[in-house]
Amino acid sequence: MTDTLDLAASPGRPPAGTDAPDRSRWLALVVIAVAQLMVVLDASIVNIALPSAQRALHISTSERQWVITAYTLTFGGFLLLGGRIADYVGRKRMFLIGLIGFASSSALGGAALNGPMLFASRALQGTFAAILAPAALSLITVTFTEVHERAKAFGVYGAVSGGGAAIGLVMGGVLTEYASWRWCLLVNVPIAVLTAVAASAIVRESKAPGNTSYDIPGTLTVTAGLAALVYGFTTAAQDGWSSTTTVGFLGVAVVLLAAFVVIELRTDHPLLPLRVVLDRNRGGSYLASFLVGSGMMGMFLFLTFYFQGTLGYSALRSGFAFLPFSAGIIVAATVSSRILPRVGPRPLMAAGFGAAAVGMAWLSQVGVHTAYLTHVLPAEAFLSLGLGLAFVPMGSTALLGVGHHDAGVASALVNTSQQIGGSLGTALLNTVAASATAAYLASHALSPATVAAAQVHGFTLGFWIAAACLATAAAAALVVVRASRTDLHALSAIAVPAAG
């Protein structure tokens, strides 16, 4: 089906052929934002609680990484399918199913009796998050059709997406310190249930018109390929890049993802229409999202260990040390949403990612006895303000000009690129940091001071690589993205039916 444009529609008026703007759309945005926050923070909330969970459930050191990777594997692996299902079955319907499933799997994790039960619940959480996240973003796309309103809506979404990981670390510290590590999972239950009740009354249903066939071969190959890729990078952090397991899974991933591309080129009803990613503006946005995810998840990992292992912070104090990061994201995203319609996405993305790269490079200067106020806090400020400035135009550009039929899968790609980037980046940076630490210890006399210096040496090298990822994201925005403010106004004129 060919998507239509009403070029005569004014920026303040709904385009011809659409229903009047939903009067409850801002309440719907609140509901969607709460759900997105829950999904984003759940990727980080267990980080600070992980040592307590490991002791309580007698999880071995080699197995504890599955508390994190079980979530990221299923989340990244099933996002494309989740986006396409939301397009076809109904975005509101899948949004509600995702919320209830997320609540149920969170309750299972909170009641876990052993490690495998916790790992399984985290995998289920990731699966339902892969249904929930693309439905949430595509609901924003079809609910807000006027350019200024859409910019504000993406401002809220960008603030939630950018600050959610840091908020999760704060919540994880508070809940672990004063309640139990189990509440890092159980807290999702009342939030998800209440959000589902509100969504059923406020959010409007929409679905893609026309053909609704599923690409089963494409679904199987891309999901298995992404899972193998994430797993291969994860095992590299433990077993090394030359291990049989790592090489085997990475090889399988290459074969499966290549097969996926061939399938998508030949099938009549592709899971991922290549027109979605081959568009220069959208492709640049997805590339930037991947690179940002690669750098940022490593930053959270290293800073958490730096706070607790090097500076001796408690779990609670470590969580609160990330608060300025969350505040900066929210402030900058609010400003970005207001100026985006006037300046366009390209300068905001380039400047924002550039500032974030400066902040990450600043972090690479920390030492064993570095003061938080003079080194970490200024770096957090550059990072958060830069990312908040860039997230809003990145989200808008990722959906620029996409057909209504592809809104869900385009939304899923925003999350997929960031999630896969985060998983691969964490594995890569952790491997590099561990190798650097081991090399430092081998070349220095062993002592407590040497051990501390070696760990910080590994962290700083990881920060440098993360800074390079962010700098590359800035370059991608500057070179690849060509969208202007005029394109954003044209986007608001796309005729989007409110119900399928």
Q: What is the pLDDT of residue 398?
A: 83
* 432, part of any domain: yes
The residue assigned the tokens 């954003």 is 488
* The two structure tokens encoding residue 455: 């760990």
Same domain, 111 and 182: yes
Would you give the DSSP letter of residue 203? P
Same domain, 145 and 258: no
| 328 in Cβ contact with 181 (< 8 Å) | no
Q: CA-CA distance, 366 to 369, in Å (whole number)?
A: 8
Q: What are the two backbone dihedrals, phi and then psi, of residue 481, each rounded to the nearest 5 degrees?
A: -70, 130
Would you give the DSSP letter of residue 59? -
Q: Which residues of 410-424 are buried (b: 16+ CB within 10 A; e: fewer)?
A: bbbbbbbbbbbbbbb
Same domain, 74 and 119: yes
Q: Where does a domain end: 270, 299, 314?
A: 270
Q: What are the two backbone dihedrals, phi and then psi, of residue 194, each rounded to the nearest 5 degrees?
A: -65, -40
Q: Where does a domain end: 243, 270, 297?
A: 270
Q: Where does a domain end: 231, 252, 270?
A: 270
Same domain, 295 and 235: no
* 8, part of any domain: no
Exposed / middle / buried, residue 307 (Cβ in 10 Å: 0-12, 13-18, 19+): buried
Q: CA-CA distance, 234 to 129, in Å (whole number)?
A: 20
Mean per-residue pLDDT pooled into runs of 10, the chain (500 residues): 33 42 79 87 79 84 72 80 81 93 95 94 92 84 78 79 74 88 92 92 78 75 80 73 90 94 87 83 90 84 82 85 85 88 90 96 91 91 93 84 72 76 77 83 85 90 94 94 69 38
* 10, part of any domain: no
The domain tally of the chain equals 2
Calculate the alpha carbon distances from 142 to 20, 130, 209 in Å.
Answer: 12, 19, 13
* The two structure tokens encoding residue 261: 């591309």
- Helix-strand-coil percent breakdown of the chain, rounded to 5? 80, 0, 20
Q: What is the pLDDT of residue 337?
A: 85
* 5, part of any domain: no
* The two structure tokens encoding residue 133: 């996240």
Q: CA-CA distance, 421 to 294, in Å (whole number)?
A: 4
Same domain, 174 and 295: yes
* 145, part of any domain: yes
* 6, part of any domain: no
Q: CA-CA distance, 446 to 419, in Å (whole number)?
A: 38
Q: CA-CA distance, 205 to 310, in Å (whole number)?
A: 50
Q: CA-CA distance, 322 to 332, in Å (whole number)?
A: 16
Residue span of the structural domain in which 154 resides: 25-205+271-491
Same domain, 479 and 406: yes
Q: What is the pLDDT of residue 500?
A: 33
Would you give the DSSP letter of residue 499? -
Same domain, 235 and 111: no
Q: What is the pLDDT of residue 489?
A: 57
* The two structure tokens encoding residue 252: 């399988």
Q: What is the pLDDT of residue 162?
A: 63
Q: How do residues 317-333 score in pLDDT, each as one tens digit?
A: 888 888 888 888 888 98
Q: How do residues 342-395 score in pLDDT, each as one tens digit?
A: 888 999 999 999 999 999 999 999 988 888 998 999 999 999 999 999 988 898
Q: What is the pLDDT of residue 357?
A: 96
Same domain, 180 and 265: no
Q: What are the two backbone dihedrals, phi and then psi, of residue 5, each rounded to the nearest 5 degrees?
A: -120, 135
Same domain, 254 and 275: no
| Neighbouring-strand partners of residue 494 | 5
Same domain, 221 and 302: no
Same domain, 233 and 283: no
CATH number at residue 370: 1.20.1250.20
445, amino acid identity = A
Calculate the alpha carbon distances from 104 to 70, 99, 190, 266 in Å.
Answer: 16, 9, 10, 39
DSSP character string of 288-310: HHHHHHHHHHHHHHHHHHIIIII
Q: What is the pLDDT of residue 14?
A: 43
* 16, part of any domain: no
Mapped onto helix, strand or coil, the DSSP state of residue 5 is strand
Q: What are the two backbone dihedrals, phi and then psi, of residue 494, each rounded to the nearest 5 degrees?
A: -65, 130
Same domain, 238 and 327: no
Q: For the chain, how far is it from start to end, CA to CA, in angstroms?
A: 14
* 210, part of any domain: no
Short-list 338, 347, 353, 343, CA closest to 391: 353
Q: What are the two backbone dihedrals, phi and then psi, of residue 211, each rounded to the nearest 5 degrees?
A: -60, 140
